[in-house]
Amino acid sequence: MTPEMDLQELTARIKDRVEIEAVVSRKVRLTRKGNRLWGLCPFHSEKTPSFTVEPARGFFKCFGCGEGGDVISFVMKQDGLEFWEALNLLADQAGVEVPRLSGATAPSPMRDKAREALSLARSLFHQELDTVAGAGAREYLKQRNVSERMWRHFSLGWAPAEPGWLSQRLRKAGIPDEAMVEAGLAYFPEGTRRLRDRFWDRLVFPVADRSGRTVGFSGRFLPGSKAEERGMGKYVNSPEGPLFPKRRLLFGLELLAEGLREKGEEVPIYLVEGNLDVVMLHQAGYPTTLAALGTSITEDHVRSLRRHLHPVYLVLDGDEAGKKAAWKAARLMVSEGIPVKVVLLPEGQDPASMVSAGEEEQLSQHLDSAWDILDWRLEVWTKKPDFQDPAVQVKAAREVAEWISVTPDPALAEIWSRRAGDRLGLTIESLRRMISSGNRLQSHSPQTVTATDNPPPKKKPALEALKRNEFEILATLLNDSSLFPRHRQELEALEIQTPVARRLLAWCQERRQQSLPFDLFAALREFPEGDSQAFLEEIRQNPPGNSEIALESALQALPANRELAYKEARLGVRKQDEELSDSELSGLQRKIDLSASDE
């Protein structure tokens, strides 16, 4: 039995024992209508259910945002997991043992070593904080009034200035250099092969995922340190990658569930700017505090927060940068239906500095007097010196109308409309006309409003056909890698246009040259996120039937599709609205049947 069949049978056994409706219903309230179950989509904000589950087929589909797949892909999308992580999670629920599969489908030893390196690094850094070398870091924490209980609670650590301190210890523990690099703990400077530690002479904050597994670190230099003398950044984070998806991670995330249970159903989630802000607010009795890791709040962060069904309070710094960050984060949360408020701190203050100075009572008063997000925006506009200028009033009305239009809560939209009308001197009717008009306006900053009433450009049919054609070639190769040598000359001469397909084909060629397997499930392991993951997931859920027939057909169709795509591009430059001829368009409609029979 081939490795591919081993895993196909494994996934089939898991899906036979785990009912998709049971998994989905933990996140979505489902109502049965005929053979389908319906509910509000967990992947985008909506008022009318467009998300459906078909238990008989084991699939879900949202007709609003287009997300769909089987129970494995649902867990991957909902919990932000890699394919293998979701597979193992469901296997545990199903009582199915996941064997060490042969060939390329076995979990990557290097990836496992990288995870081991992260766990070891956490322990080493934490232990070093208690040594003579960590005395400066301990003194800094004491000066900031961080309790020793918090040092332990967050496993804070110290990375000494000694060159190679961490990498030498990890090597002794059997961690290869490549695993340290993959873990983001070390790197090879450009043009050299001398490994260097990424974190040195810094106070270290371990970063964990929702399950508590260490995925990276954030390091802060101390005042007067060598890192500061050299003009290096105050904070250094692990590099973005499969193990450290920064756009999805929040510092303190692994402690959130416990904090919510401790404080009860009505407690808000507090979102702050820095790691030390998180530590100090936990110390002050706010265990539901999180922070982004050196990046703005993203849609992935917001979707992660939305699943908890708790309001979010933005406790950002009181300077202009903090206010702008609050505006951007709140805008995303409103569109996802999260109740959001803004906590305005005194100019120049942050949560950590207030707790450190013993101002917990003042901080508590600020938290208790948090502003409704729309009230705050109205206050900002009406306090502007030039607010009486009609042009400024129009900008304010447009921004407010746009915010009201994106909230999925009709009751909240009604309340906001009345408040906005009162503050801006508008009738409810005029504001509603602005909200409901097709000329919706989307602000890109608190001070700038840009019209976005132009419809998106139509997709070019020839280019889409070419992309589909290239997708089909990769699907057949990943489904049956034995086809590569039979079509080696054609495949090695291919000039793939789609970036994801080009990257995967190069990976297949490299694996083949190294005499390593390059099947679909090895690719799922190698490319665990982003466009590549979506590309591979589509192949997994829609595998070709007769791969040899499909590959031959795809290779035969490629030159014509490529020529039509080039012609379409030339026509677009010469005359943007010009259409291809009927005969050319009909040629583009040819679909290669990936499930062709053996006949």
Domains of the chain: residue spans and CATH? 3-105 (3.90.580.10), 109-237 (3.90.980.10), 260-362 (3.40.1360.10), 377-451 (no CATH), 461-588 (1.10.860)
* Helix/strand/coil (H/E/C) assignment for every residue in 48-101: CCCEEEECCCCEEEECCCCCEECHHHHHHHHHCCCHHHHHHHHHHHHCCCCCCC
Q: What share of the chain is helix, strand, coil (3-state, %, to 5)?
A: 50, 10, 35
The enclosing H or E element of 362 equals: helix 360-368
pLDDT at 554: 82
Query: Is the Cβ–Cβ distance between 588 and 461 less than 8 Å?
Result: yes
pLDDT at 572: 57
Give how far Cα 418 sits from Cα of 137, 381, 395, 399, 436, Å. 53, 17, 18, 15, 15
Closest CA to 215 of 256, 183, 186: 183
Compute the distance between CA of residue 261 and CA of residue 599 in angstroms, rounded to an integer: 60
Compute the distance between CA of residue 304 and CA of residue 78 in angstroms, rounded to an integer: 8
Over the chain (599 residues), the average pLDDT of each successive run of 10 is: 55 84 87 88 81 89 86 82 80 74 52 91 97 95 95 96 94 95 92 89 93 91 85 88 83 90 86 94 96 83 81 82 81 87 88 94 94 91 90 88 84 89 84 63 38 42 79 84 80 81 86 79 74 78 76 82 75 48 44 38
Query: Is the Cβ–Cβ distance between 556 and 587 less than 8 Å?
Result: no
**Which amino acid, 28?**
V
pLDDT at 565: 74
Tokens in use for 545? 């039937």
The pTM is what? 0.64
